[in-house]
Amino acid sequence: MSNIVVLGAGMVGSAMAIDLAKKHAVTLTDFSQKALDKAIKKCSKLFPVVLDVTKKDELQKTIKPFDLVICAIPGFLGYETLKSIIEAGKNVVDISFFPENSFDLNALAKEKNVTAIVDCGVAPGMGNIILGYYNEKLKLNDFECLVGGLPKVKKWPFCYKAPFSPIDVIEEYTRPARYVENGVTVTKEALSDCEYVDFEGVGTLESFNSDGLRSIIFTMPHIKNMKEKTLRYPGHVEYVKVLKESGFFSEEKVSIRGAEISPLDFTSKILFNEWKLGDTEEELTVMRISLKGTNKKGIEKTIVYNLHDEYCSKTNTSSMARTTGYTATAAANMFLEGLFNKKGIFPPELVGKHENCFNYILNYLKQRNIHYTKTEN
């Protein structure tokens, strides 16, 4: 048994804490007592601590006694928090998905003798792990990730629910999307290149550009074509584009009756209620990872992994919390069991390249009824 601290008691953070508490002593922190109380009701074994991660001294003092830190805070807080964790000399698994380049902390992590596994969710996360594994088996030419979290019940107009902060979703809708085409990194506008894709058990979905490649642009420069697209129910993109083009995502403050407020803050507040996923509201996660390349004999191969996961009524855990959070808890247990102990910053593809790590994570997820179905041609 190890001592673990989880930073962030949101839907994903609390799911991870509960999963880890099966084998370990787990402390769960959040700036909100209400969020902690909610998690404790689901699992009385957790130790709750109110913590503001922006207060560096308090954060570093809190995490000092622990064997491992799990970071599940909103993306805009992620980079500085991860930096503080590394400075404190603590090993960490991170799913804050911040926009900054995590490799900027690589030298610091090595200096502090820290293992930091970052972006370890479903996407980025499991898609990277699969890519890392097959990059060792094939000479890859193409990588595509299609992924999305969707409510079972479609509610007009957005037909969408978010298991995490709406401001993080909006950030995904505004951040330019980086792709690799014919060996060249290109930047496209978020929400562009919308096209329809069919998924068994779900129907037709729309896919659009999003900046999900992240680290693999740097770690897999030899792969000529790489892209990630987000999935939503048809019609979602058009409504979001209306908000975006009308200025509702602007951070420039406007004055209304003497009060200064940014359109983004206003929009986030409104959408928080519109997009808030209820505790027992059924939703699903779909993902398709496609890889093309040649094996050692020069034979062309196409590998496809499909994921279809749904809300778990037995544990009242959302699919997005399960698929995102349990990938991270798999990595956490894998690290604590000594299967991966390299020092520095490691995105998931640099973990999945090791066959024992790849198999450990897939089996860990399978034990929690999360199944990645593989086809090969």
Q: What does the pLDDT look like over 38-75, one tens digit per residue?
A: 999 999 999 999 999 999 999 999 999 999 999 999 88
- CATH number, domain at 10? 3.40.50.720
Number of Cβ within 10 Å of residue 254's Cβ equals 12
Q: Mean pLDDT over residues 245-252, rounded?
A: 93
Q: Which two tokens stand for residue 65?
A: 């006694």
What three-state secondary structure class fits 324?
Answer: helix
What three-state secondary structure class fits 315?
Answer: coil
Q: Which two tokens stand for residue 21?
A: 């508490």
212 shares a domain with 164: yes
Q: Is 104 inside a domain boundary? A: yes
Contact 79, 56 (CB under 8 A): no
Q: In terms of Cα–Cα distance, which of 118, 85, 121 is closest to 5?
A: 85
> What pLDDT does 300 receive?
97
Contact 84, 65 (CB under 8 A): no
What three-state secondary structure class fits 354?
Answer: coil
Q: Is 114 inside a domain boundary? A: yes
> What pLDDT does 170 receive?
86
211 shares a domain with 140: yes
pLDDT score of 216 more than 90: yes
208 shares a domain with 137: yes
Q: Is 344 inside a domain boundary? A: yes
- CATH number, domain at 194? 3.30.360.10
40 shares a domain with 150: no
What is the Cα–Cα distance from 83 to 85, expressed in whole angstroms? 5
The band of 171, judged by pLDDT with boundaries at 50, 70 and 90, is confident
Q: Considering its fold, how many domains does the chain have in total?
A: 2
CA distances for 11 relative to 42, 117, 287, angstroms: 12, 21, 20
> What pLDDT does 297 receive?
94
Q: Mean pLDDT over residues 133-154, rounded?
A: 96
pTM of the model: 0.93
Q: Which residues contact residue 104 at a Cβ distance below 8 angstroms, ignoring those fewer than 6 apart?
A: none
What is the Cα–Cα distance from 233 to 224, expressed in whole angstroms? 30
Q: Is 264 inside a domain boundary? A: yes
> What pLDDT does 277 receive?
83
Percent of the chain with pLDDT over 70: 99
Q: Is 315 inside a domain boundary? A: no
| Of the residues 310, 335, 355, the one at which a domain ends | 310
| Of the residues 259, 283, 310, the one at which a domain ends | 310
Q: Which two tokens stand for residue 204?
A: 């037709």
E strand intervals along 324-371: 344-346
Contact 292, 304 (CB under 8 A): no
26 shares a domain with 141: no
pLDDT score of 233 more than 90: yes
162 shares a domain with 117: no
Q: In terms of Cα–Cα distance, which of 237, 209, 214 is closest to 123?
A: 214
pLDDT score of 274 more than 90: no
91 shares a domain with 25: yes
What is the Cα–Cα distance from 149 to 198, expressed in whole angstroms? 15
131 shares a domain with 232: yes
Per 3-state DSSP, the chain is made up of helix, strand and coil in percentages (nearest 5) of 35, 30, 35
Q: Phi first, then psi: give them for residue 230, nearest 5 degrees.
A: -90, 145
201 shares a domain with 95: no
304 shares a domain with 181: yes
Alpha helices of 204-318 — where are they, by DSSP H?
216-219, 236-245, 263-275
233 shares a domain with 144: yes
Identify the domain containing residue 325 by its residue range.
3-122+320-376
How do 177-181 and 139-151 pair as beta strands?
Answer: unpaired
Q: Which residues is 121 bridged to in the sheet?
A: 125
DSSP secondary structure of 50-97: E--TTSHHHHHHHHTT-SEEEE---HHHHHHHHHHHHHTT--EEE---
What three-state secondary structure class fits 149?
Answer: strand
Q: Which residues is 229 bridged to in the sheet?
A: 146, 209
Q: Mean pLDDT over residues 11-30, rounded?
A: 97
| Of the residues 310, 332, 349, the one at which a domain ends | 310
283 shares a domain with 182: yes
